[in-house]
Amino acid sequence: MSTRRTCLVSARKTPTTNAGLWLDKFIRNQAREDKDSRHDLVREVSDIPVPEEYSRWFERWRRVLQDYGAACRVAEVLGRIAVGLGEESVLETSVALHHTYGVPYIPGSALKGLAASFARQYLGDDWQANAGAYKTVFGDTDTAGYVIFFDALPLPGSRLLYPDVITVHHEGYYQKGDKPPADWDSPNPVPFLSATGKYLVALAGPDAWVKAAFEILQYALLNLGVGAKTSSGYGRLRLESVPPITGVEDRKVDQLINQIRALRTSEVAGRIQAFYEQWWKLDVSPEHKRRIAEAIVAKVKEAGREKQSLDKDWYRELLESLR
C-alpha cells in the first residue's frame, strides 16, 4: 500500500519542486522490506534541479554577508560529502537540505566543530579546550567565541545531489549481534543522497582570529573532512579564494569618491593624503584607480591647494598616474 496521501499519488516533479519536501513526503512505500521504493526516492530527489530563484537569493545572501563584514572563501568538494546522514528521515539515512530551497548545505555548527576538533588534536597546548586561543575562537560552555561560523551554502550553477549507496554485508551481526559475520551473508545495499559542488564558507569576527580560523578550517576540511563517512574518503573540501561579487568593486569605489567629494575646503589640507593612501592600497581595476585619482586631484584644485601639493611626492604620483 502506498504511504502517500491519495491526492498525492499522481503528483509529479516540476522545476519548482523542493528536494527536501519530496524526500520527506513522496516515498511510495515506507515499508522496510520495499527496497525499490527507497532506491527510487533517492534517484527522484537527486534529479530535482536547483530552483531558479535560488541564484537570486544566493546573491542577496552573499551581499548580506559582505555588509555584515564577514570574510568569505569558496570550498570545493573533492568527491562527495554526506552531511546530516544520521538525522531523522523516512529512509534509514538523511541529508542536510535547505528548508526553503532544498539545496544541500553545511551547517555552521559542523564547520565550527570540525575546526575545534582539529585544533585540539593537532595544534598543541595553545589550542587545547582550556587555552586562551581556543576559547577566543571557539568559546566554551560559559562564553561564546569571537568568530562566527555561518552555514556554508552552495554556489548556483551545477548539479549538487547524487544517488549513493552504503552496502551492509553482515546485517544480522550489526543489528542483533547474535550471529557472527560470515562469507555467505547477503549484502544489503542502503540508498542515500550525497552532495558535491562548491560552497561559500563565511566567518565573521576580529580579522586576526578569522584568519586563524580559516587556516585551521583549511587543513581540517582537506585532511579530516566534514560530515559522515570521512573514513571512506567523503567530506573532503579544498578552500579557495571567493570569486568577485558582481558590483561590489563599483560600490566600494563610488563610496570612496563620494567621501572625497564631501570634504569641506577646511578639511582638505589635513585629510586628503589619507585618501591617497587608500588609493595606493586599493586592489581595484585600473579604470577605478583612475577615477579615484581624478577625484582627489579635483578636490585639491577645488580647495586651492594645488601649488602647495605639487611639492608632495604623493600628489605628483597621482598626477603621473593620470598621464
Query: What tens-digit pLDDT sequence spans the chain (323 residues)?
Result: 455 556 666 777 777 788 878 777 777 766 666 677 777 888 888 888 888 889 999 999 998 998 888 999 999 999 999 998 777 777 777 788 999 999 999 999 999 999 999 999 999 898 999 999 999 999 988 888 999 999 999 998 888 998 888 776 666 666 666 677 767 666 777 788 899 999 999 999 998 999 999 999 999 999 999 998 898 899 999 998 655 444 566 777 888 888 999 889 999 988 999 999 888 888 777 888 889 999 999 999 999 999 988 988 899 898 888 87
Residue 11 lies in a domain: yes
Supply the pLDDT for residue 289. Answer: 86
* Short-list 165, 191, 229, 234, CA closest to 42: 191
Q: Are residues 110 and 38 part of one domain?
A: yes
Q: Are residues 161 and 308 in the same domain?
A: no
* Whether residue 276 is found in the same domain as residue 138: no
CB atoms within 10 A of CB 138: 23
pTM of the model: 0.69
102 lies in the same domain as 204: yes
Residue 254's pLDDT is what?
83
Domain finish residue from 213, 241, 269: 241
Burial of 3 (0-12, 13-18, 19+ CB in 10 A): middle
190 and 84 in one domain? yes
Between strands 198-204 and 237-241, the pairing is: unpaired
Where helices occur in the chain by DSSP H, the ranges are 19-25, 35-46, 52-68, 108-122, 132-138, 171-175, 207-223, 248-261, 265-281, 286-302, 306-309, 313-321
Q: What is the pLDDT of residue 75?
A: 95
The residue from 196, 213, 241 where one domain ends is 241
8-state DSSP, 98: -
pLDDT score at 1: 47
What is the per-residue pLDDT across 52-68, written as a single tens digit (0 to 9) for each? 889 999 999 998 998 88
Structure confidence at residue 213 (pLDDT): 94
Euclidean distance between CA atoms 181 and 82, whole angstroms: 27
Residue 1 lies in a domain: no
Residue 237 to residue 67: CA distance in whole angstroms: 26
Helix (H, G, I), strand (E, B) or coil at 105: coil
148 and 262 in a single domain? The answer is no
- Structural domain range at position 256: 248-321
Question: 181 lies in a domain?
Answer: yes
Distance CA 161, CA 320 (A): 54
**How far apart (Å, rounded) are the C-alpha atoms in residues 55 and 58?**
5
Looking at the structure of the chain, the number of domains it has is: 2
One domain, residues 114 and 183: yes
State the pLDDT at residue 219.
Answer: 94
On whether both 228 and 274 belong to a single domain, the answer is no
Contact 9, 43 (CB under 8 A): no
**CA dist list (Å): 289 to 104, 252, 322:** 40, 11, 10
Tell me: do 252 and 228 sit in the same domain: no
Claim to verify: residue 283 and residue 317 sit in the same structural domain: yes
Same domain, yes or no: 209 and 304: no
